[in-house]
């Protein structure tokens, strides 16, 4: 298949593109390589992808509709997987415009082009943060999502809405993917596991929000990638209406929302304890109050994804941390003593 992947130099996009190439697909990556975090790691991910003969790449912004359009029209993908976005909850407080531009305008441009080429299936990254202040756990796709707590989450929720309307009018098959705290090798330097690891190794204070009284559904990147790959051929279709219990399929459009998580809530302090244990080093803990825009608990219900794809996440947080550390210590050439 010919698959267009946005955000291919990003954490999830890199792993996904690599997996697709290994499976023999032709992949066109698209990424601005922005400086939100260390560009070096993005360049190194891209370098690995460029080793594959069937990998093509365009460096530009999603907002540049002309270049994005040329790339897509020339490549003629049957599938688009749209992962490029301005991520991060905290940064959305200080720079909301980056989120409006990348996430709203950028996603609009992708959907518009997908419609134009009659795409077979468009898959778009959303986020568990759209569940916001929901109290009912675990989070299920059919739950109401009316209370986003951050601007990041609000832009993700908006893209779900825009995508649904396009899917309704133009019958574009769209699946929204709500990811839950993804981690693993080549991970994001702005996220907790990376920051904690760096802090502990360098004997620097690590900031722990809400005094560590938080739970996250940490999901290992390979499980996420397997979930996405299994969905490629599962484009939503209105004929499927009523066939699956608690389906999030739209009653009027080929549009579905799916959680991709690990389904376990891990207490943040247990996560940090495990990291210390594996690193054989103690963290210097800086307990802090709750961060604005953040949520205390995330945990996914992935029954729907399991029914559609046999999804079965395999990596628990302890072995996930181990795999992350193997990569991290090797990448930064650190000897584990």
By the criterion CB under 6 A, which residues form the site for ligand NAD?
7, 9-13, 31-34, 42, 61-63, 83-87, 102, 106, 125, 127, 179, 181-182, 188
**Cβ closest to ligand NAD, residue 87 vs residue 214:** 87
**Cβ closest to ligand NAD, residue 123 vs residue 208:** 123
- Alpha helices by DSSP H, listed for the chain, are 11-22, 39-49, 65-75, 91-94, 96-99, 106-116, 151-170, 192-201, 221-231, 268-279, 303-309, 317-331
What is the C-alpha separation between 162 and 171, in angstroms, rounded? 13
Residue closest to ligand NAD, measured at CB = 10
HSE-up of 259 (CA within 13 Å, CB side)?
32
Helical axes 268-279 vs 192-201, angle rounded to 10°? 40
* Cα angle 36-290-104, degrees, rounded to a multiple of 5: 40
Report in angstroms how near the CB of residue 131 gets to ligand NAD at its nearest. Answer: 11
258, β-bridge pairs = 177
Catalytic residue status for 317:
no
What is the C-alpha separation between 1 and 225, in angstroms, rounded? 17
Report in angstroms how near the CB of residue 68 gets to ligand NAD at its nearest. Answer: 8
Report in angstroms how near the CB of residue 264 gets to ligand NAD at its nearest. Answer: 15
Helical axes 317-331 vs 268-279, angle rounded to 10°? 50
**Cβ closest to ligand NAD, residue 86 vs residue 175:** 86
Report in angstroms how near the CB of residue 269 gets to ligand NAD at its nearest. Answer: 20
Report in angstroms how near the CB of residue 30 gets to ligand NAD at its nearest. Answer: 6
**Cβ closest to ligand NAD, residue 259 vs residue 309:** 259
Catalytic residue among 108, 152, 183, 209: 152
Report in angstroms how near the CB of residue 159 gets to ligand NAD at its nearest. Answer: 9
Helical axes 106-116 vs 151-170, angle rounded to 10°? 20
**Cβ closest to ligand NAD, residue 72 vs residue 85:** 85
| Cβ–Cβ < 8 Å for 117, 73 | yes
| Cβ–Cβ < 8 Å for 80, 72 | yes
User: At 224, is the secondary structure helix, strand, or coil?
Assistant: helix
**Cβ closest to ligand NAD, residue 228 vs residue 272:** 228
Point out the residues that are catalytic.
Answer: 152
């Amino acid at each position: 298949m010919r698959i267009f992947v946005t955000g291919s130099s990003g954490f999830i996009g890199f792993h996904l593109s690599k997996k697709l190439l290994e499976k023999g697909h032709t992949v066109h990556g698209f990424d601005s390589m922005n400086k939100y975090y260390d560009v070096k790691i993005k360049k190194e991910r891209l370098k690995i992808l460029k080793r594959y003969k069937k990998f093509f790449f365009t460096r530009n912004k999603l907002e540049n509709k002309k270049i994005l359009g040329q790339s897509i029209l020339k490549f003629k993908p049957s599938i688009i997987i749209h992962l490029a976005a301005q991520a991060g909850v905290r940064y959305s407080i200080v720079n909301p415009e980056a989120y409006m531009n990348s996430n709203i305008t950028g996603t609009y441009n992708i959907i518009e082009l997908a419609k134009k080429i009659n795409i077979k299936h468009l898959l778009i990254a959303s986020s568990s943060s759209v569940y916001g202040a929901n109290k009912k756990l675990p989070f299920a796709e059919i739950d109401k999502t009316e209370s986003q707590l951050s601007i990041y989450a609000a832009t993700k929720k908006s893209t779900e809405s825009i995508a649904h309307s396009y899917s309704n009018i133009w019958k574009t098959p769209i699946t929204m993917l709500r990811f839950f705290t993804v981690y693993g090798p080549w991970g994001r330097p702005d996220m907790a596991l990376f920051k904690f690891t760096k802090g502990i190794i360098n004997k620097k204070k690590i900031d722990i929000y809400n005094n560590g009284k938080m739970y996250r559904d940490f999901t290992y990147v390979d499980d996420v990638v397997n979930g996405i790959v299994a969905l490629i051929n599962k484009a939503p279709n209105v004929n499927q209406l009523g066939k699956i219990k608690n389906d999030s399929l739209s009653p009027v459009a080929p549009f579905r929302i799916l959680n991709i998580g690990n389904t376990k809530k891990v207490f943040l302090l247990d996560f940090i304890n495990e990291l210390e244990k594996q690193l054989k080093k103690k963290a210097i803990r800086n307990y802090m109050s709750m961060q604005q825009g953040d949520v205390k608990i995330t945990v996914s219900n992935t029954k729907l994804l399991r029914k559609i794809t046999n999804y079965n996440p395999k990596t628990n947080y302890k072995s996930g941390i181990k795999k992350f550390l193997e990569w991290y210590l090797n990448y930064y050439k650190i000897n584990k003593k």
